[in-house]
Structure 1
């Protein structure tokens, strides 16, 4: 019997995969695994990208700052224009009211001019007419005269400067005389009326 017949393993072909060391196969797998993170890192933003982002934000900030300055200037000009318009309206309102007083002044001038040629009653009638016209102008402005004689004394409307003793209890606290006229609007008293007020005499006890 020959040696080949006694050794059957010598006749089988060798497996090429067995010739590759296990260490080389493991290193190849590690190389593939390490390559993937490096490729993903290379795909992220570069420093140049960050610089471009910063430059864009700075430009946006400049644009917003410029727009804010323009808005402030526009608002300032708007306030000035509104104030000018209000001032103009006040002047025009004053002019209109002054024009309403001109006829009153004209009538007063006529009454003074007729002093030498007219008697006292005519002058009195002229002055009375001027006063009535003047009050009419005040009423058109929302100003009215405070009622006095015959009205119950009110500390909000009247200022008592004198007292008149009376025996009639029903007249106690009633305004009997107007010393100086008072005026008011719907909102407030412009000037209280100075008046004389009736007051009951105190009862004398024995």
Structure 2
């Protein structure tokens, strides 16, 4: 081989190596872009999973709060049916005390008062309370149940409660029986 052919061959080898290096650089750039896109994809997936986790956690916390509130409400009003069924007994005690007080037998009155007070205190301990209403109070349609209207005996009683026919009660914060009243017209 001649020197000239060796130079041509060396130049060809150099060009081949340069082209090969250039091709490798292009491949390296593509690999870097793929790595960046894979890294970005992983970051996006991680962000999506975090968001999903946070939403699920928030939903679970809301569920716990809601069920806890429902459970407390259930305990507060669990005895509502029993309390409602005991209200006529309280009314009977009131009527009995009213009639016995007219008689001369004070020992009977004292005994019935003791039983009535014990019964009331037991129900009050379970959350039952009387709605305080007296003649002359302002009528509130959300609180009171008007059973009739009569002409007001005085101008002051117009639109006000004239008489309380049946007492009202609450169990906790809930009204279980509205007081039945007569309203002046």
Q: Give the TM-score band, short-chain normalised.
A: 0.3 to 0.5
Larger radius of gyration: 1
Q: TM-score, normalised by structure 1?
A: 0.41
Q: Which has the higher contact order (CA 8 A, sep 6+)?
A: 2
Q: TM-score, normalised by structure 2?
A: 0.44
Higher helix share: 2
